[in-house]
Amino acid sequence: GENVEQHPSTLSVQEGDSAVIKCTYSDSASNYFPWYKQELGKRPQLIIDIRSNVGEKKDQRIAVTLNKTAKHFSLHITETQPEDSAVYFCAAKGGGNKLTFGTGTQLKVEL
Amino acid sequence: DTAVSQTPKYLVTQMGNDKSIKCEQNLGHDTMYWYKQDSKKFLKIMFSYNNKELIINETVPNRFSPKSPDKAHLNLHINSLELGDSAVYFCASSQEPPPLHREQYFGPGTRLTVT
């Protein structure tokens, strides 16, 4: 089955700096890679996703890159703000149609 | 106008009891899911139903039994509750089935505490 590894587990940045979270996956059949943000006590919510036929996708301050050969994908947040503080999960969906989540990254944006 | 709703939001019960969590979505989606999020925040899929049919059944104890009376509802019944069942349970839905990939919309979660 799919195995998704996510690093780092915690990330602290100064407001205005960039944050990068990296994930690797094991199933070469995986073709859909969403990123979810979960604020404290709230539900996970999709912030961006990428499909395997695309190498990069950007939405305002958020971008995701995908390297299918190396089986890794990354989330980039620029100009971080305090409201970006949350737990971020990467995920991969493969041939079994099951979404496998990474272990999460606690991002803290400090003033 | 809540998209995915769950009841109850909090559930505190004793070991050995049987409890149910209900989930409803008003998005018209065909596929619904149950996830378990433990104290370390790991999100793991338990079950998935498409149009009332079970399509994903992960390795969970058979004390957990999902039931989908119609495609807008997916309930989770848990028998003989154990301490290790304490977690937040999230229901989710999406407009699939495969091979399409669509956003999964999560419910607010049910925090289950077994004492």
Per-residue pLDDT of chain B (115 residues; tens, 9 = 90+): 579 999 999 999 999 999 999 999 999 998 999 999 999 899 999 999 988 888 888 878 999 999 999 999 999 999 999 999 999 999 999 987 656 677 899 999 999 999 9
Using alpha carbons, select from A101, A32, A3, A108 the residue that is nearest to residue B101: A32
**B90 → closest Cβ in A43, A93, A98:** A43
Average pLDDT, chain A: 94
pLDDT per position as a tens digit, A32-56: 999 999 999 999 999 999 998 889 9
**What confidence score (pLDDT) does residue B50 get?**
87
**What confidence score (pLDDT) does residue B72 get?**
95
**Rounded-to-integer distance, Cα B101 and Cα B111, Å:** 28
**Rounded-to-integer distance, Cα A80 and Cα A61, Å:** 8
A residues 56-85 closer than 8 Å to B (CB):
none
B106 to A44: CB separation less than 8 angstroms, yes or no: yes
**Rounded-to-integer distance, Cα B56 and Cα B99, Å:** 14
The torsion angles phi and psi of A84, rounded to 5 degrees, stand at -80, -10
Tokens (6 digits) for A3: 């195995």
B43 to A89: CB separation less than 8 angstroms, yes or no: yes
Residue A89 with chain B: CB contacts under 8 Å: 43
Pick the residue of B2, B43, B96 with the most A CBs within 10 A to test the interface with A by mutation: B43
Tell me whether A32 touches chain B (CB under 8 Å).
yes
Using alpha carbons, select from A64, A99, A58 the residue that is nearest to residue B96: A99
